[in-house]
Structure 1
Amino acid sequence: MPFQRDELVEYIRRAARPEDKYGHQPRLYSLACEVGRGLAFDDDVVYAAAWLHDLGVFVGHRPEDPALLAHWDHVAYTVDRVPGILIRAGFEATKIPAVLEVIRTHQPFDEPVTVEATIVRDADILEQLGSIGILRAVAKVGRDTRYPTFTSVRAVLEKAMKTLPSQLRLESSKRLAEGKVRTLQVFLESLAIEDQGSLY
């Protein structure tokens, strides 16, 4: 059976909770293709990793207990479950280790060693910048124990602006980041003017 991409899409459409988490996957794949333009990479590996990499952060897959959630390794959970999901979707078994390698090294502090992992990691960093980065961060206020207030999210956005662009590996990613960083900078400057010292 050939790789059924639609099966991954439908699986994530059902699994992505809260519902707004669904949009990250198609955007990430699209960004990864843009980042990787001109490079030789396995598109099936990038596609599978982009759609499945965050499985362990969805409600219903992660612990509900705040104490357990504080120490939750969503990557290990995801890596454990992805092979079965891919096999059911007709994914080539010999490529599964490559998908797992992308998922294992998709976070900013990771050190990707394959071109597919580098592409997806850079794209995932870009998703944390610009207007999308702002929306994704603000959506967590009050529903993620790490972000109880707007002030806590402002700190996340400030850190993203200062630290994430320098962690990008590919020149294409760095170019794409320029406008996103400017958007984030303007937002934070406007917020500093408007918050009257009482953002909370």
Structure 2
Amino acid sequence: MTDKPYRAAIENYIAAHANPTHKFGHQPRLYALTQLIGEGLTYDDDVVFAAVWLHDLGVFIGHRPETEEALKTWDHVAYVTEKAPAILKEAAFPEEKTPAVLEVIRTHQPKDTPLTPEATIARDADILEQLGAIGITRALAKLGSDTRFCTFTEALHALKKHLTTLPNQLLLETSKALAIPRTKIMQSFIDSLETEGGKNLF
């Protein structure tokens, strides 16, 4: 993207701040998914790009609170919507597109209702990232770097919740088709984990 140096600037910012390091991979994977989902649709790819690269800044160590108690009420979306304008300005991102980027970030979670094509694409992509082999990997990685669950059983419960609730929240037909093999992988993993671990999974 030599004609859009702000893209490299945004990527470099996230690369420098992603902590733990494994959280960096979510952004390029997510953007790749938006391109698959958005094929044939009319939307502003700059807006989607900037939003998916910045949307999780508030979950990085160094940006989120350090205490478990503070994390329980932490609003990482509010944090990044406050920080993003300055980051985008520093990257020389087109200023007139910043409000659209913030709107995507504001409504990127499954519980949200996206109001723009860009937000719908990004939200569907973020849901897909929580399914399949990647979804399993991300959930298990949190055992060592996240306070939301500390045991394999808690991780298993999270995976079950993702499998039963997230696919039905996808909005676009392309996203729903992409979810099918991911849900099969996740169901197979859950079945195998329960068979092998049994009551001793812990």
Query: If the length of structure 1 is used for normalisation, what is the TM-score?
Result: 0.98
Residues 1:183 and 2:185 are matched in the alignment: yes
Question: Alignment partner of 1:34: what SS?
Answer: helix
**Can you give the 5+ residue segments of structure 2 that lack an aligned partner in the other structure?**
none
Match of 1:85 among 82, 87, 104: 87
- Could you say which residue in structure 1 is the equivalent of 2:108? 106
Residues 1:45 and 2:24 are matched in the alignment: no
Say how many residue pairs are matched.
Answer: 200
Deviations 1:24-57 (A, max 9, x none): 0000000011011110000100000010000000
Structure 2: how far apart are the matches of 1:187 and 1:2? 41
- Could you say which residue in structure 2 is the equivalent of 1:23? 25
Residues 1:168 and 2:170 are matched in the alignment: yes
Structure 2: how far apart are the matches of 1:95 and 1:196? 51
Structure 2: how far apart are the matches of 1:92 and 1:83? 11
Structure 2: how far apart are the matches of 1:118 and 1:71? 26
Structure 2: how far apart are the matches of 1:53 and 1:14? 15
* Identical positions, percent: 56
- Could you say which residue in structure 1 is the equivalent of 2:130? 128
- Greater share of residues in helix: 2
RMSD: 1.1
Question: Alignment partner of 2:138: what SS?
Answer: helix
**Can you give the 5+ residue segments of structure 1 that lack an aligned partner in the other structure?**
none
One-letter amino acid matched to 2:17: A
CA shift, 1:3, in A, is 5.0
CA shift, 1:143, in A, is 2.7
The correspondence of residues 141-160 of structure 1 with structure 2, limited to 5 A, is: 141-160=143-162
One-letter amino acid matched to 1:40: T
Match of 1:68 among 67, 70, 77: 70
One-letter amino acid matched to 1:130: G
CA shift, 1:66, in A, is 1.1
CA shift, 1:65, in A, is 1.2
Deviations 1:142-200 (A, max 9, x none): 43221110100100100100000000000000000000000000000111110031111
* 4+ residue segments displaced more than 2 Å: none
Question: Alignment partner of 2:184: what SS?
Answer: helix
Question: Alignment partner of 1:4: what SS?
Answer: helix
Structure 1: how far apart are the matches of 2:70 and 2:133? 31
- Could you say which residue in structure 1 is the equivalent of 2:97? 95
One-letter amino acid matched to 1:16: A
